[in-house]
């Protein structure tokens, strides 16, 4: 088994200016495949509600389901850092967040991911103080799809851009170890990446973040319907799933993915 990736590994990547790759996985088989191919971070996303369960949002996913999939991924993982999403309304209060994060950590997660802005500072601080590493998710936060009125790029105007930079800094000070930016204009994502010391992972956020993440089914061209702009089908140019994952990792590390056509501008 390769040397395990830790939070310190990601910090070292950022300090050296080296990009790192993340992918979602929801079971032991995919976890083994992606971690063996050199993926640094496995995200057990509540995206499983759409990818595996067929829902039109992530909202129906439960804590019980997230614990189940986290346990499965942990069994197959070969040294990647395992990050588990906390599903909709599982961290509405700090007490809820502590109890539910403990369940995910016991199942094999090494970090939990929460969606939201400055209102999360107390919760992130409480988790961090109790030994739970936290990934903060900003930009298009799918659990807020009904508030946003759909899946839309966030931070296009300067007011909201400045607000997102401020929130990233606040969440880092509260204890966030990693920040995910989803569907954010590339120039803004670059500004946030420079503004914080925490490693920043982008999805639809341009090439200047510290790392990249995609849904594994998307990058293998398996998702029905029209793929999002930020997705590339790596299986189309590969002979196998394993080769496709390796090609993704290589493209991320060389900063060849995402290209301009996979990014949004202000």
Binding region for 3-methyl-2-oxobutanoate:
46-47, 85, 113
Q: Is 182 among the residues known to form the active site?
A: yes
Look up residue 10 and give its DSSP letter.
H
Angle at which helices 94-107 and 63-76 cross, to 10°: 30
* The one catalytic residue among 64, 158, 162, 182: 182
Q: Judge whether 92 and 119 are in contact, CB under 8 Å.
A: no
Residues that constitute the known binding site for Mg(2+) = 46, 85, 115
Q: Judge whether 189 and 206 are in contact, CB under 8 Å.
A: yes
Look up residue 149 and give its DSSP letter.
T
Torsions phi, psi for 198 (to 5 deg): -65, 145
Q: Which residues pair with 24 in a beta bridge?
A: 43
Write down the residue that tokens 């590390």 correspond to.
253
Residues that constitute the known binding site = 46-47, 85, 113, 115
Look up residue 3 and give its DSSP letter.
P
Q: Judge whether 114 and 90 are in contact, CB under 8 Å.
A: no
**What is 218-246 written as a DSSP string?**
HHTT-SSSPPPTT---SGGG-SSHHHHHH
Contacts 24+ apart (CB under 8 A), 13-18: 13/40, 13/199, 13/210, 13/211, 14/197, 14/198, 14/199, 14/200, 14/210, 18/253
Active-site residue list? 182
């Amino acid at each position: 088994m390769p040397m395990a990736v830790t939070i310190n590994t990601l910090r070292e990547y950022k300090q050296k200016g080296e990009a790192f790759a993340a992918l979602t996985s929801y079971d032991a088989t995919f976890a083994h495949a992606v971690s063996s191919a050199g993926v640094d971070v496995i995200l057990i996303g509540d995206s499983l509600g759409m990818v595996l369960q067929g829902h039109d949002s992530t909202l129906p996913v439960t804590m019980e389901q997230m614990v189940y999939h986290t346990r499965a991924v942990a069994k197959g993982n070969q040294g990647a850092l395992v990050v588990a999403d906390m599903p909709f309304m599982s961290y509405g209060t700090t007490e809820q967040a502590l109890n539910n994060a403990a369940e995910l950590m016991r199942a094999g997660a090494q970090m939990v991911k929460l969606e939201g802005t400055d209102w999360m500072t107390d919760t992130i601080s409480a988790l961090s103080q109790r030994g739970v590493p936290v990934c903060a998710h900003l930009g298009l936060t799918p659990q807020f799809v009904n508030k946003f009125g759909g899946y839309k790029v966030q931070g296009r105007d300067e007011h909201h851009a400045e607000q997102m930079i401020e929130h990233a800094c606040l969440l880092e000070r509260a204890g966030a170890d990693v920040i995910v930016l989803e569907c954010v204009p590339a120039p803004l994502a670059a500004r946030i990446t420079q503004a914080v010391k925490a490693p920043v992972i982008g999805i639809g956020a341009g090439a200047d973040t510290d790392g990249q993440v995609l849904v594994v089914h998307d990058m293998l061209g398996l998702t029905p319907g029209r793929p999002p702009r930020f997705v590339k089908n790596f299986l189309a140019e590969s002979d196998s799933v394993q080769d496709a994952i390796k090609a993704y990792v290589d493209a991320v590390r060389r900063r060849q993915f995402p290209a301009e056509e996979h990014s949004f501008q202000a």
